[in-house]
């Protein structure tokens, strides 16, 4: 039998691990998106405005993955 204090501590540990790994993926995603934007703008400076719109969209989509991890972490914090 595991007492509730240990479960709570383990849940807090799990929350930290969850948001950490989620942030790794989202950071990689936004980094690749920025790389793509820089490549596109340095090759064709005239598409900068259009490319920035797509960049924001892609960055928001990959940032959402970190936020899924955030939701899980927040649910674990409540345990």
Partner 1 sequence: MEHWIYIFNIAGHAISLNLDTIFTMWFAMAAVIIFALIATRHLDLIPGKLQAVSESVMKFFYGTLDTMIEHENRQHVPLVASLFLFIVTANLMGQLPLRIINLKHGGELASPTNDINLTAAMAIIVLIYYVFMGIRAKGAKFFLHEFSFTGIVMALVEILEMITRPLSLAIRLFANIFAGEILVSIALGGLAYFLPLPIMLFEILVAFIQATVFMMLTIAYIGSATGNEH
Q: Spell out, one character per residue from 8 to 47, where the chain touches partner 1: x when CB under 8 A holds, - when not.
A: ----------------------------------------
* Residue number with CB closer to partner 1 (48 or 61): 61
Task: Specify the 3-state DSSP secondary structure of 78.
Answer: coil
- How far is it, in rounded angstroms, from Cα 77 to Cα 59? 27
75 lines the binding site for partner 1 (CB under 8 A)? no
Q: How far is the CB of 56 from partner 1 (least distance, A)?
A: 6
- How far is it, in rounded angstroms, from Cα 53 to Cα 39? 15
């Amino acid at each position: 039998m595991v007492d509730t204090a240990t479960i709570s501590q383990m849940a807090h540990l799990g929350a930290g691990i969850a948001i950490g790994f989620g942030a790794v993926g989202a950071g990689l995603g936004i980094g690749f998106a920025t790389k793509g934007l820089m490549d596109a703008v340095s090759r064709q400076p005239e598409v900068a405005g259009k490319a920035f719109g797509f960049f924001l969209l892609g960055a928001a989509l990959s940032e959402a993955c970190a936020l899924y991890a955030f939701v899980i972490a927040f649910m674990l914090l409540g345990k």
